[in-house]
């Protein structure tokens, strides 16, 4: 993977990009270690850019373009506290979301977290899983590997 930083944030994701094994969820109860084959990811690009708009960040994973985009707002004030959905549970009358709160001390932390979230989607794609509706799983992956 090649990193293209279009911001003034001094960041390196080398420790994440060079990691050979990742712990992933097989289902909600089972976790396992998978090997990442770098030759399959050599033509992928990670772009870090500034984001305009009202949201503090965004991320995007496109297997067809072999691209992960991480965007953060230059207007963010740190420490930045965000709540992420990590699951749902059945309650009388419907479902209730479970959240986990993460505090980012600076833009580097936020970029790393968003990258991990999008990388989870990439790992699912490499395993042949559908990309849609896996936000909670990707959030759990990012939280587990961010801490």
Torsions phi, psi of 72, nearest 5?
-125, 150
What is the torsional sign of CA 138, 129, 35, 107? negative
Which tens digit of pLDDT belongs to each residue from 81-117?
A: 999 999 888 999 999 999 999 999 999 999 999 999 9
User: Considering only CA atoms, which of 142, 115, 129, 136 is closest in space to residue 5?
Assistant: 115
Q: How far apart are CA 85 and CA 97, in angstroms?
A: 7
| DSSP single-letter state for residue 66 | T
Which tens digit of pLDDT belongs to each residue from 40-97?
A: 788 999 999 999 988 999 999 999 999 999 999 999 999 999 999 998 889 999 999 9
Look at residue 29 in the predicted model and tell me its pLDDT.
64
């Amino acid at each position: 993977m090649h990193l293209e930083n279009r911001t003034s944030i001094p960041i390196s994701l080398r420790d994440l990009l060079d990691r050979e094994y990742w712990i992933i969820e097989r289902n909600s109860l089972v976790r396992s270690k998978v090997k990442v084959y770098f030759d399959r990811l050599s033509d992928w690009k990670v772009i870090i850019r500034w984001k305009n708009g009202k949201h503090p960040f965004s991320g995007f994973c496109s297997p067809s373009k072999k691209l992960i985009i991480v965007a953060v707002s230059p207007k963010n004030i740190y420490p930045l506290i965000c709540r992420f959905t990590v699951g749902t549970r059945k309650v009388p009358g419907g479902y209730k979301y479970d959240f986990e709160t993460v505090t980012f001390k600076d833009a580097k932390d936020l970029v790393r977290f968003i990258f991990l979230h999008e990388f989870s989607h990439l790992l699912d794609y490499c395993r042949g899983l559908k990309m849609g509706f896996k936000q909670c799983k990707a959030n759990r992956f990012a939280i587990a590997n961010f801490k």
